A and B are shown apart, each in its own frame.
Chain A
Amino acid sequence: MTRTEITLSVNGCQHTLALDPRVTLLDALREVIGLTGAKKGCDRGECGTCTVLVDGRRVYACLTLAVMHDGATVTTVEGLADGTDLHPLQQAFISRDALQCGFCTPGQILSAIGLLAEGRATSEQEIREFMSGNLCRCGAYPNIVAAIRDVAGAQ
Chain B
Amino acid sequence: MRPTAVGTPVDRADARSKVTGTACYTVDVVLPDLAHAVVVQSTVPTGRIVRIDAAAAERAPGVLGVLSHANTPSLAEVPTFPQGPAGQRRPPLQDDTVNFDGEHLAVVVADTLHHAAQAAALIDVAYDREEAVTTLEAGDELPPSGIFGEAPDSVRGDPEAALARAEVRLDATYTTPTEHHHPLEPGATVAAWDGGRLTLYDSTQWVSGVRDAVAMTLGMATDQVRVVSPFVGGAFGSKAMVWPHVVLAALAARHVGRPVKLVLSRAQMFTSLGYRSPTVQRLSLGARQDGTLTAIVHAVTQQTSVFEEFVAGAGYISRSLYACPNVAVRHRLVRVNAPTPTVMRAPGEAVGSFALESALDELAAQSGVDPVALRLRNFAEDEPQEGLAWSSNALRECYQVGAERFGWERRTTEPRSMREGRHLVGWGMASATYGVHSEAAAARVRICADGRILVTSGTQDLGTGTYTTMVQVAADALGVPVERVTAALGDTDLPPAPHSGGSQTAASVGPAVWSAALDACSKVLALAEQGDSYAEILTRHGIEFVEGRGDARPGASASRFAMRSFGAHFAEVQVDPELGEVRLTRFCGVFGAGRILNPKTARSQMIGGIVGGTGMALTERTVTDRRLGRVVSPNLSGYAVPTHADIPWIDVCFIDEHDPHVNALGVKGIGEVAIVGVAAAIANAVHHATGRRIRDLPITPQTLL
Q: Which residues of A contact B (CB under 8 A)?
A: 20, 22-23, 27, 30-31, 34-44, 46-47, 49, 76-78, 80-81, 86, 90, 93-95, 97, 99-106, 109, 124, 127-129, 131-132, 134-145
Contact = CB atoms under 8 A, between A and B. Distances in A.
Given A36-B28, A139-B647, A101 B11 contact: no
B635 A44 contact: yes
Contacts of A27: 113-114
Nearest to B263: A40
Q: Which 5 A-B pairs have the closest CB atoms?
A: A139-B611, A37-B21, A101-B463, A102-B18, A103-B233
A143 B604 contact: yes
Given A94-B19, A97-B604, A139-B610, A145 B27 contact: no
A141 B647 contact: yes
B636 A46 contact: yes
Contacts of A41: 184-186, 266, 636
B271 to A, nearest CB: 16
A139 B21 contact: no
Contact of A97 (B15, B113, B236, B464): B15
Interface string B249-265: 00000000000000101
A132 B637 CA distance: 13
B182 A137 contact: yes
B463 A102 contact: yes
B553 interface: no
A142 B25 contact: no
Interface in B72-113: 112-113
A84 B320 CA distance: 52
B20 A142 contact: no
5 contacts: A78-B22, A102-B15, A103-B185, A128-B647, A131-B644
Interface in B114-128: 114
Tell me if B's interface is mostly helix, strand, loop or mixed: loop
Contacts of A138: 234, 463, 604, 608, 611
B266 A140 contact: no
Given A31-B113, A94-B15, A97-B601, A137 B645 contact: no
Contacts of A42: 266, 635-636
Contact of A31 (B15, B112, B644, B650): B112
Given A97-B603, A105-B18, A127 B644 contact: yes
Contact of B184 (A36, A49, A90): A49
B30 A100 contact: no
Contact of A137 (B18, B19, B183, B265): B183
**Chain A interface mostly:** loop
B643 interface: yes
Interface in B13-43: 14-25, 27-28, 30
A86 B19 contact: yes
Contacts of B30: 34, 36
Interface in B628-652: 635-637, 641-645, 647-650
B183 A101 contact: yes
A60 to B, nearest CB: 12
Contacts, number: 176
Contacts of A76: 21
A100 B464 contact: yes
B454 interface: no
A94 B19 CA distance: 8
A92 B608 CA distance: 19
Contacts of A23: 114
Contact of A36 (B24, B112, B463, B600): B24
Contacts of A99: 12, 15, 18-19, 463
Nearest to A44: B635
Of B15, B23, B637, the most chain A CB neighbours within 10 A belong to B15
B310 to A, nearest CB: 22
B300 interface: no
B635 A132 contact: no
A106 B636 CA distance: 19
A79 B610 CA distance: 33
A93 B20 CA distance: 11
A137 B236 contact: yes
Contacts of B263: 40
A139 B607 contact: yes
For B16, B27, B463, B609, the residue with the greatest tally of chain A CB atoms inside 10 Å of its CB is B463
A140 B644 contact: no
Contacts of B642: 139, 141
B232 interface: yes
A144 to B, nearest CB: 7
B275 interface: no
B231 interface: yes
Nearest to B609: A139
Contacts of B14: 102
B11 A102 contact: no
Contacts of A80: 20
A44 B269 CA distance: 14
A38 B30 CA distance: 15
Given A37-B21, A41-B184, A142 B649 contact: yes
A142 B647 contact: yes
A141 B19 contact: no
A140 B635 contact: no
Which interface residue of B24, B30, B233, B650 has the most chain A CB atoms within 10 A? B233
Nearest to A141: B647
Contacts of B265: 43
Interface string B199-230: 00000000000000000000000000000000
Contacts of B645: 128-129, 132
Contact of B12 (A36, A94, A137): A94
A39 B185 contact: yes
A22 B118 CA distance: 11
Contacts of B27: 36, 39-40
Contact of B604 (A106, A131, A134, A140): A140
B612 interface: yes
B233 A44 contact: no
Interface in B140-179: none
B465 to A, nearest CB: 8
Contact of B11 (A47, A95, A128): A95
A100 B463 contact: yes
Contacts of B608: 100, 138-140
Contacts of A49: 184
B605 interface: yes
Nearest to A77: B21
B545 to A, nearest CB: 26
